[in-house]
Amino acid sequence: MHGLVNRLGLAGMAVASVLLSAQAATGQTTLRIGLAEDPDVLDPTLARTYVGRIVFASLCDKLFDIDENINIVPQLALSHETSEDGRTVVIKLRPGVKFHDGEVMNAEAVKASLERHMTMQGSFRKPELAAVDKVEAVDPLTVRLQLKAPFSPLIAQLTDRAGMVVSPKAAAEAGDKFGLKPVCAGPFRFVERVQQDRIVLEKFPGYWNAANIHVDRVVLRPIIESTVRLANLKSGSLEMIERALATDLPEIRADAKLKVATVPELGYQGITLNIGKSDAGKTAFGKDLRIIQAFSLSLDRDAITKVAFNGEFLPGNQWVSPRNPYYQSKFPIPKRDVAKAKELLKAAGVTSPLTIDFMVPNNPETRQVAEIVQAMAGEAGFDIKIRVTEFATSLKEAEEGRYQAYVLAWSGRVDPDGNAYVFHRTKAPQNYGGYSNPDVDRWLDEARTKSALAERKAVYERIAETLLAEGSIVYLYHRLMIIGHTAKLEGYRQMPDGLIRLTGVKLKP
Amino acid sequence: MLLFLGKRLLQLIPTLFIVSVIIFGLQQLLPGDPALAMAGEERDPEVLEQIRRQYRLDQALHIQYLYWVGGVLTGNLGESMRLKEPVLTLIAQKFPVTLQLALMAIVISLTIGVTAGVISAVRRDTAIDYAVNVIALWGISTPNFWLGIMLIFLFSVHLGWLPASGYVGPFEDFWLSLQTTILPAFVLGNAFAAVLMRHTRSAMLQAMSSDYVRTARAKGLAERVVVIKHAMRNALTPIVTLGALELGTLLSGAVLTEQVFSIPGFGKLIVDSVFNRDYAVVQGVTLITATTYILLNLLADIAYVLINPRLRS
Q: What is the model's pLDDT at position B251?
A: 77
Residues in Cβ contact with A103 at an 8 Å cutoff, skipping those fewer than 6 apart = A109, A167, A168, A169, A170
Q: For helices B2-28 and B61-73, what crossing angle results, to 10°?
A: 140
Nearest chain A residue to B38 by CA: give it.
Answer: A48
Angle between helices B279-307 and B2-28 (to 10 degrees): 150
Count CA atoms within 13 Å of residue A322 on its CB side: 13
DSSP per-residue codes, A33-75: EEESS----S-TTT---HHHHHHHHHH--BSEEE-TTS-EEES
Q: What is the pLDDT of residue A335?
A: 93
Max CA separation in chain B (angstroms): 84
Q: Using the beta-carbon criterion (under 8 Å), do B157 and A126 form an inter-chain contact?
A: no
Strand partners, A221: A34
User: How many Cβ atoms from other residues are within 10 Å of residue A128's Cβ?
Assistant: 24
pTM > 0.95: yes or no: no
pLDDT band of B312, cuts 50, 70, 90: low
| Amino acid A4: pLDDT | 41
* Residue with the larger pLDDT of the pair A175 and A376: A376
| pLDDT tops 80 at residue B1 | no
- % of chain B beyond a pLDDT of 70: 98
Q: How far is B169 from chain A (nearest CA, A)?
A: 12
- B152 contacts in chain A (CB < 8 Å): 228, 231
d(CA A249, CA A255): 10
**Could you tell me which chain A residue has the CA closest to the CA of B272?**
A38
The residues, any chain, with a CB within 8 Å of residue A146's CB and separated by 6 or more, are A87, A88, A132, A133, A134, A135, A136
Three-class secondary structure assignment of A391-452: HHHHHHHHHCCCCCEEEEEECCCCCCHHHHHHHHCCCCCCCCCCCCCHHHHHHHHHHCCCCC
Binned at pLDDT 50, 70 and 90, residue A150 comes out as very high
Of B232, B242, B238, B243, which is closest to residue B115 (Cα–Cα)?
Answer: B232
Phi then psi dihedrals of residue A270, to 5 deg: -160, -175
* Of A181, A105, A170, A176, the residue nearest A143 (C-alpha): A105
| Residue A12 pLDDT class (50, 70, 90 cuts) | very low
**pLDDT, average across residues A295-312:** 94
Tens digit of pLDDT for each residue in B236-292?
A: 877 877 887 788 778 776 888 888 888 888 888 888 888 888 888 988 988 888 888
3-state class (DSSP) for residue A144 = strand
How close is the nearest chain A Cα to the Cα of B80, in Å? 10
CA A455 to chain CA centroid, Å, is 26
Contact B93 A124 (CB under 8 A): no
Q: CA-to-CA distance for B143 and A271, rounded, in angstroms?
A: 35
Alpha-carbon span B268 to A224, nearest angstrom: 10
* pLDDT exceeds 50 at position A382: yes
pLDDT per residue as tens digits for the range A443-455: 999 999 998 899 9
Q: What amino acid is encoded at A273 in this protein?
A: L
pLDDT at A466: 95
Q: Are B276 and A392 in contact (CB under 8 A)?
A: yes
Q: In this predicted model, what pLDDT tens digit does every residue of B122-153 receive, in sequence order?
A: 888 888 888 888 888 887 888 888 888 889 88
Q: Give the model's pLDDT for residue A22.
A: 41
* Cβ of residue A232 closer than 8 Å to a chain B Cβ: yes
- pLDDT confidence of residue A136: 96
Of B36, B82, B268, the CB nearest to A399: B36
Is A43 touching B (CB cutoff 8 A)?
yes
Instruction: Identify the three-state secondary structure at position B192.
Output: helix
Sequence-separated (6 or more) residues with CB below 8 Å from residue A109:
A99, A103, A165, A167, A168
Are A211 and A24 contacting, i.e. CB atoms less than 8 angstroms apart?
Answer: no
Query: Which residue of A lies nearest to B270 if distances are taken between CA atoms?
Result: A196
A337 pLDDT more than 90: yes
Task: Give the three-state DSSP class for B3.
Answer: helix
Is the pLDDT score of A268 beyond 90? yes
CA distance B125 to B55: 63
Q: State how far Cα A435 lies from the chain centre.
A: 24
**Residue A193 pLDDT exceeds 90:** yes
CB-count exposure of residue A84 (10 Å: 0-12, 13-18, 19+): exposed
> Does A223 lie at the interface with B, CB-CB under 8 angstroms?
yes
CB contact under 8 A, B264 and A194: yes
Map residue A146 onto helix, strand or coil: strand
How far is CA A449 from each of CA A76, A86, A116, A442, A503, rounded to the nearest angstrom? Answer: 25, 7, 25, 11, 34
List the Cα angle A496/A499/A504 in 5-degree steps.
95
Contacts of A366 (CB under 8 A, 6+ apart): A360, A407, A409
Whole-angstrom distance, CA of residue B298 vs CA of residue B163: 38
Pairing of β A188-194 and β A198-203 = antiparallel
What are the two backbone dihedrals, phi and then psi, of residue A90, each rounded to the nearest 5 degrees?
-105, 125
A285-A437-A155 Cα angle (round to 5): 115
> Which of B156, B261, B277 minimises the CB distance to A392?
B277
Whose CA is closest to A272, among A358, A341, A333, A336? A358
Whether B40 has a pLDDT exceeding 90, the answer reads: no
Q: Which of A153-157, B11-15, B91-95 has the highest mean pLDDT?
A: A153-157
Q: Of the ranges A116-120, A361-365, B306-310, which is most confident?
A: A116-120
Asked if residue A319 lies in contact with residue A416, where contact means CB atoms within 8 angstroms, the answer is yes
Mean pLDDT of chain B: 84
Give the pLDDT band (50/70/90) at residue A13: very low
Residue A5 has pLDDT above 80, yes or no: no
pLDDT at A419: 94
Of B24-28, B189-193, B309-313, the one with minimum mean pLDDT is: B309-313
Question: How many angstroms separate the CA atoms of A435 and A367, rounded?
Answer: 25
Supply the pLDDT for residue A157: 94
Contact at CB, B84 and A236, closer than 8 angstroms: no
pLDDT in tens, A411-437: 899 999 999 999 999 988 889 999 999
What value does the CA radius of gyration of chain A take, rounded to a whole number of Å? 25
Q: pLDDT band at residue A51, thresholds of 50, 70 and 90? A: very high
Task: State the CB neighbour count (10 A cutoff) for residue A67.
Answer: 11
Q: Cβ distance A63 to A161 under 8 Å?
A: no
Give me the amino acid identity at A184. C
| pLDDT value, residue B311 | 67
Given an 8 Å threshold on Cβ–Cβ distance, is B47 in contact with A124?
yes
Pairing label, strands A506-507, A405-410: unpaired
Rounded Cα distance, B305 and A122, in Å? 55
Strands A132-139 and A142-147: antiparallel
- pLDDT at A344 exceeding the cut of 90: yes
Using 50, 70 and 90 to split pLDDT, how confident is the model at A10? very low
Query: What whole-number distance in Å separates Cα of residue B228 and Cα of residue B243?
Result: 19
Total count of residues recorded for chain B: 313
DSSP symbol at A166: -
Please judge whether B164 and A222 are an interchain contact, meaning their C-beta atoms are less than 8 angstroms apart: no
**Whether residue A346 has pLDDT greater than 80:** yes
Q: Tell me, yes or no, if A392 comes closer than 8 A to chain B by beta carbon.
A: yes
A271, A508, A480: which is closest to A376 by C-alpha? Answer: A271
Distance (Å) from the alpha carbon of B146 to chain A's nearest alpha carbon: 11
Chains A–B, number of C-beta pairs less than 8 Å apart: 130
Provide the β-strand partners of residue A482.
A262
Residue A460, min C-alpha distance to chain B (Å): 23
> CA of A41, closest CA in chain B: separation in Å?
5
pLDDT at residue number B313? 56
3-state SS track over A281-306 = HHCCCCCCHHHHHHHHHCCCHHHHHH
Give the helix/strand (H/E) hosting A154: helix A154-157
Q: Is a pLDDT exceeding 60 seen at residue B74?
A: yes
Question: For chain A, which domains are there?
Answer: 2-59+186-265+481-507 (3.40.190.10), 64-171 (3.90.76.10), 268-478 (3.10.105.10)
pLDDT digits (tens, 9 = 90+) for A17-37: 444 444 444 578 999 999 998
Alpha helix ranges (H) inside chain B: 2-28, 34-39, 45-54, 61-73, 87-122, 127-141, 144-152, 174-208, 211-218, 223-225, 232-251, 255-261, 266-275, 279-307
